[in-house]
Amino acid sequence: MKILVTGGMGYIGSNTVVELINRGYEPVILDNLSNSSKNVLDSIYKITNKKVTFYEEDCTNEKRLDEIFKKEQFEGLIHFAGYKAVGESVEKPLDYYYNNVLSTIILSKLSKKYNLKHFIFSSSATVYGDQPSPLKESMPLGETTNPYGESKKISERVLMDFSKTYNDINIVLLRYFNPIGAHSSGLIGEVPKGVPNNLMPCITQVASNKREKLFVFGDDYETKDGTGVRDYIHVVDLAIGHIKALEHDKKGISIYNLGTGEGISVLELVNTFMKENNINIPYEIVERRKGDLATVYADTKKAKKELDFETKLGVKEMVKSSWNFEKNIK
């Protein structure tokens, strides 16, 4: 089965491409390289011994995408492509709405035109807003705190309405929690451009002396140790979740959380990293960031029941693989 993977050179996308190849699929990558590197193709080849067709293109270029769809005759697509920095989205809201929402609209139009059977969408737990955890798929969409989250929420609504007019497609909205970790080969992982927005790259950059220390935003939350609690999922488990969604051959729209169902605090993650990798991470407690929530973790029962999806890799594998990848970054 030939599958278009938009944003397939990125952190989650590249790991998913590897898992697609491992399971006999034929992925085709489309990426504008705005937040990734063409070197990822070499890493995918080293891991899988397979060359992947790659188009350097933007998902908002409808004319060019139409040509690619016509040529490749995809059976399905996984849509990762999108801007994802929360802080930047506040500074550049129009860029986020234009890129993230328009790309979803264009891909929906082409999916219908070329009779695709599967559309897997990379969404986010941010669409729940500030609601008590565990977060369930049956909850109403919450009030988001930034344009990034709002762009995901609007895209979900676009796909929900689209599914009502195109009944022959399996549309799956996957709401991610906090992906960390890297491929066991140490060849593909998270390489943020500029200042990292996520916790794990900040930790690994301190470990590799690229940063002097880690800043922990707040220690006065109502949590076990006062620091924020999140549901961290290994990126390889997350990638496998997309395969499960692809193989969930159900017409219409489905929504699933992809997480572990367990919350880990910032300091628990830092301490586990130090213990498992035998390396010290100096940190400083600073003020909370505006918009950060105390506790966010998933209810995973629906994904387990309907997709037969359960995470296999724990926090030890997450921190070890993250450090292994960081050491390989040139």
For β-strands 118-124 and 170-176, DSSP reports them as: parallel
Q: Categorise residue 197: left if φ over 0, alpha if ψ from -120 to 50, beta otherwise.
A: alpha
Alpha carbon distance 327, 312 (integer Å)? 24
Show the DSSP H helices in 23-145 as ranges.
39-48, 62-72, 86-91, 93-96, 102-113
Q: What is the band of 229 on the pLDDT scale with cuts at 50, 70, 90? A: very high
pLDDT at position 329? 82
Please choose, from the candidates 257, 245, 248, 239, the residue with its C-alpha nearest in 3D space to the C-alpha of residue 296: 257
**24: how many CB neighbours lie within 10 A of its CB?**
7
Is 148 an active-site residue?
yes
Superfamily (CATH) of domain 2-180+232-260+299-309: NAD(P)-binding Rossmann-like Domain (3.40.50.720)
When the pLDDT of each residue in the chain is averaged and rounded to a whole number, the result is: 95
Which residues on adjacent β-strands are paired with residue 123?
A: 175
Alpha-carbon distance 48 to 61, whole Å? 30
Q: Residue range 216-231: average pLDDT? A: 96
Angstrom distance (rounded) from CA 295 to CA 112: 39
What share of residues in the chain are helix, strand, coil (percent, to 5)? 40, 20, 40
Query: Which strands make up the sheet holding 170-176, listed edge to edge?
Result: 53-56, 26-31, 2-6, 76-79, 118-124, 170-176, 252-258
- Is residue 330 predicted with pLDDT exceeding 80? no
Residue 106 has pLDDT above 90, yes or no: yes
Closest CA to 236 of 72, 22, 4: 22
- pLDDT score of 145: 82
Q: Indicate the DSSP class of residue 101.
A: I
Is residue 43 over pLDDT 70? yes
Mean pLDDT over residues 28-43, rounded?
A: 95
- Give the integer Cα–Cα distance in Å for 316 and 208: 19
**85-89, 115-119, 283-287, 315-319: segment of lowest average pLDDT:** 85-89
Candidate from 49-63, 138-152, 223-237, 252-266 with smallest mean pLDDT:
138-152
CA angle 112, 61, 236 (to 5 degrees): 75
Write out pLDDT tens, residues 64-105: 999 999 999 999 999 999 998 887 888 999 999 999 999 999
Cα–Cα distance, 191 to 199 (Å, whole number) = 12
Q: Which of 55, 128, 148, 176 is catalytic?
A: 148
User: pLDDT at residue 290 above 90?
Assistant: no
- Per-residue pLDDT tens over the stretch 239-264: 999 999 999 878 899 999 999 999 99
- Domains of the chain: which residue ranges? 2-180+232-260+299-309
Q: What is the mean pLDDT of residues 165-177?
A: 94
Residue 323 has pLDDT above 80, yes or no: yes
Average pLDDT over residues 301-311: 97
pLDDT at 194 over 90: no
Specify whether the CB–CB gap between 105 and 55 falls below 8 A: no
Cα separation of the two ends of the chain = 35
pLDDT at 280 over 90: yes
- Least-confidence region, from 17-21, 48-52, 82-86, 275-279: 82-86
Give the 3-state secondary structure of residue 153. Answer: helix
Interatomic CA distance for residues 50 and 279, integer angstroms:
36
pLDDT score for 86? 82
Two structure tokens written together for 43? 């890493």
Residue type, 239: A
pLDDT of 308 reads 97
